[in-house]
């Protein structure tokens, strides 16, 4: 991956591309998705990762695919892991 820019958190996308344009409150979104208000708040404020179950719930409500949502989280997770700059040598191949 090795990109310098941090990928956008899926909660931010949900907030700015879904909730705000539709004027949906956190409470309304939580009720509609069948989750707690805290779960939505933590997601849109980037305090937690998007779970596969939440990806499915959001995809159903927005007529999108769960893969599109989970892919955003995966890209962010990989970018975060790569920032650690782990000192690991490659495996040696037998010749």
pTM above 0.85, yes or no: yes
pLDDT tens-digit map of 28-42: 999 999 999 999 999
pLDDT digits (tens, 9 = 90+) for 4-14: 899 999 999 99
Question: How far apart (Å, rounded) are the C-alpha atoms in residues 70 and 67?
Answer: 5
Domain layout of the chain by residue ranges: 10-80
**Looking at the domain that runs over 10-80, which CATH code has it been given?**
1.10.260.40
Contact 58, 36 (CB under 8 A): no
């Amino acid at each position: 991956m090795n990109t310098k820019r941090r990928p956008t958190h899926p909660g931010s996308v949900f907030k700015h591309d879904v909730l705000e344009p539709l004027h949906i409150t956190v409470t309304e979104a939580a009720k509609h998705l069948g989750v707690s208000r805290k779960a939505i708040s933590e997601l849109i404020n980037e305090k937690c990762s998007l779970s596969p179950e939440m990806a499915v719930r959001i995809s159903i409500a927005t007529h999108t695919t769960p893969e599109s949502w989970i892919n955003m989280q995966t890209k962010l997770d990989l970018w975060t892991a790569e920032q650690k700059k782990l000192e690991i040598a490659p495996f040696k191949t037998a010749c």
